[in-house]
Structures are given as C-alpha cells and as structure tokens.
Structure 1
Amino acid sequence: MSLGRLHLVTDTRPGRDPLAVARAALGVAGRELVVQVRVEDSATDREAYELAGRMVELCASAGATCLVNDRLHVALAVGAAGAHVGADDLPVDAARRVLGPAAVLGATARAPGTARAAVAAGADYLGVGPCHATGTKAGLPPPIGPAGVTAVADAVPVPVVAIGGVTADRVAGLRGAGAYGVAVVAALADAADPARATAELLAALGC
C-alpha cells in the first residue's frame, strides 16, 4: 500500500471552507496528501455525502487518496479509497467487513496493545495521538508525546501517522520518534496561506 505522508483532516466548523483548504493543499502535495473527510457529529449524512463526494473528485484529479472518517456508508457511497475509524466507531474487524479487503482502513490507537489489536483486526495504518495538546477536537485524552508515538511505532508493522497539535516545527521530532507521517487540522485550516503551510509541512516530512 502506498500511503501519503501528509494527512489533512477536514475542519467543517462554521466559517470554515474545507474544500478551499484541500484544493490549496492538493495543488502542492498531490499524491503525498491524504484527505480525511471528517464532519461534525451534528452534520447530516446528506451533508457528509455531498462534501465527501466533492472531495473524492478533487483528490482524483490530483492523484491523491480520499478517506472518510467514521461514516463508512458515506465512504462506500462516494467511492472513497477507504475510511478511518476511531475508538467510538465500529470495531476495526467490522469496518473491514463493511469496506471489503481492498479498501484503505485506518484506525485510532494510542497504546501498543490497542495498536496491535487494530492491526490484527485489519487496519492498514494507525492514527496515533493526540501527540500534543490541541483545541481542534473536544474530549481528547492527555497527549502521549513523541515517546508515546515511539511505543506504538515499535509495536506494529504498519505506518503510524501522528496527530494532535502537529505543526511544521514539531514534525522532525515526530518523525524521529517513528511516525511515518502526520495528520493535521489547524496547521492547514487556520493557515493564512494553506499552500505555503502545506509546502512547509512537506519539507519537514522530507517529501
């Protein structure tokens, strides 16, 4: 499996334009970008479907990968490459049965035990964190830091993607800790120039 090292998780809070951010990032990163379509819990399936469908089209034109977070039926409906499931979503083995063997399936983990279990159940990569404090998503557990990333990366044979408070200046430390790549929300969604911010993240990743 060829997986991009920079993952953009969409920010769909009021006043945000996830399509514009993705378009800017894709123009710089191309195949190195993975777009994870995550919508607010209050969003309807129709809203998620419409956003994900447009994102799939954008990614296809750039040769990039588009995944849908949590809503597996939406991922299937729009023809996304796969999905990502969190701790409160369907179990990884159930998600794999829904998506089929060819889909890209990511899972969230923050400790070696849960990481190994997720991989055994069919996860192709792991989103690991939060690595640093972040205000993008409420109710998160305490940050695990680079040491936590190392513990997970050493425990599994699949790519580990660090998430949570990731900035360009923190990428080197996370890569040194064993992360294959990084996932960001605010680093691009809040950037005055998302294209430039994407270039800085890619440079830090060594892409």
Structure 2
Amino acid sequence: MGFRLPRLYAIIDPAQTGGRSAPAVAEALLRAGVRLIQLRGKNASSRALFEIGRQVAERVRAGGGTFIVNDRADVARAVGADGVHVGQDDLPVELARGILGPEKWVGYSTHNVEQLAEGELSSADYLAFGPVFPTASKERPDPVVGLEGLRRARQATRKPLVAIGGITVLNARQVLEVGADSVAVIRGLYQSLEIEKTVEEFLRILST
C-alpha cells in the first residue's frame, strides 16, 4: 500500500470534544478537509469503543478519509478501520500488524531516541514523537521533548514522522520546519465551537 501522511492528523477523543459526539466531530473534520482521523478512547469500554468506532468509520469512509483506532487492534479490525496506532504500553507493533495484516496502517508512539530506534526497525508505517510542547491531553504525559528534540528525532529516523503534544495554530508551522511530516492535534481542534474554521486555519498554516 502506498503510504503518505497528510500534514494534519486529527485525533478525536470523546472526553475532549466539548460534549460533541465523535461521529458529528468526524463529519465536521471531513467537511473542513481533514483526511486522517484517529479515534482515541482511553477510558471507554470495549463495547463503547466498538460502537463509536463503527459510527466514525462509516463517516470517514463516506468522506474519503483514512481512519485509525488508537491502542486497540481488535477494535480496529472489528470496525474495518484503516489501521491502528499503538503506544509504549500497548501491543507490540508486530503483534498489531499480525492482527490487521500487511495492508493496514500501523503507527507507533515514541518519546525518546531509544524508542525511535526500536520503531525504526519495526514494521510501523510511521512514528509519532512527543510531546513537543506541554500538553493537557494526557493525565500523565511524558517529558516534553521540545523543537530541538523533534529535530533530533527527524535525524534518527527515515520513517514518516508525526509530531504530537501541545500543537496549536501558533506553533504548528515551527513543527514542520524542524522536520515533522505531519502534526497530530487533539485539544487544539476543539477549544473553539467552530471546528471547521479551526481546521481551515490549521490547513492554511500547514500548507504555506
């Protein structure tokens, strides 16, 4: 499968969308031009994540996008997602790959050079690195790596690199300038009531 990351990687966490439903948020993101959406439900039950994932998958397919499920390769397979994103405490990359097969996307979260090196040797299609800036999206975030840490990460891997953590319209361009291929955004997309306008601003900044 050909692999290319869009500049904006939108993450939907139902706990951080201001009460808006995940399917409705997905529709708004797609209308605004987002083409890569990840569903993250750290505290959701398996059944709840499946039900939400199934609804979001339908919207993303209809909108011509790519849909990734965070952590759960089993749920990704059950809802027909395009891939899974795993972290340091989740299934190893190769086990997730075994569940989904060679044609699906597998992403891998890293937070330091050692983890990047491990990811580089894996079958992961892309690596996420961060948090680049302080973030409130996680209860116990890893240490901030900063722009210089991201620059070193770029030098340490040839795989597509997604920057994550505290990224807003004010710093997204800097993140690309030091080597990221894509920026993953959670809270920065939903702090405004007008998701579509926020996405359009991100896309404008990331395309210049």
Q: What TM-score do the two structures reach when normalised by structure 1?
A: 0.93
Please say if residues 110 and 152 of structure 1, whose CA atoms lie closer than 8 Å, have aligned partners that are also in contact. no
Q: 1:12 and 2:14 equivalent?
A: yes
Q: Which amino acid aligns with 1:40?
A: K
Q: Deviations over 1:75-120 (max 9, x none)?
A: 0001100000011001112222222111101000122331121131
CA distance in 2, matches of 1:189, 1:29: 15
Q: Give the unaligned 5+ runs of structure 2.
A: none
Q: 1:166 and 2:167 equivalent?
A: yes
Please say if residues 82 and 105 of structure 1, whose CA atoms lie closer than 8 Å, have aligned partners that are also in contact. yes
Question: Would you say how many aligned residue pairs link Structure 1 and Structure 2?
Answer: 204
The runs of at least 4 aligned residues of structure 1 exceeding 4 Å deviation read: none
CA distance in 1, matches of 2:116, 2:123: 11
Q: Which residue of 2 aligns with 1:37?
A: 39
CA distance in 2, matches of 1:109, 1:200: 27
**RMSD between aligned alpha carbons?**
1.5
Q: Which amino acid aligns with 1:25?
A: L
Q: Give the unaligned 5+ runs of structure 1.
A: none
Q: Which residue of 1 aligns with 2:4?
A: 2
C-alpha deviation, 1:17, in angstroms: 2.5
SS at match of 2:141: coil
C-alpha deviation, 1:189, in angstroms: 2.1
SS at match of 1:169: coil
C-alpha deviation, 1:68, in angstroms: 0.3
Q: Which amino acid aligns with 2:26?
A: A
C-alpha deviation, 1:16, in angstroms: 4.2
Please say if residues 11 and 189 of structure 1, whose CA atoms lie closer than 8 Å, have aligned partners that are also in contact. no
Match of 2:28 among 5, 24, 28: 24
Q: What TM-score do the two structures reach when normalised by structure 2?
A: 0.93
Q: Which residue of 1 aligns with 2:194?
A: 193
Q: Deviations over 1:158-184 (max 9, x none)?
A: 111111111011011100110101011
CA distance in 2, matches of 1:197, 1:16: 15
Q: Which amino acid aligns with 2:74?
A: H
Match runs of 1:1-207 below 5 Å: 1-13=3-15, 15-30=19-34, 33-41=35-43, 43-206=44-207
CA distance in 2, matches of 1:82, 1:74: 10
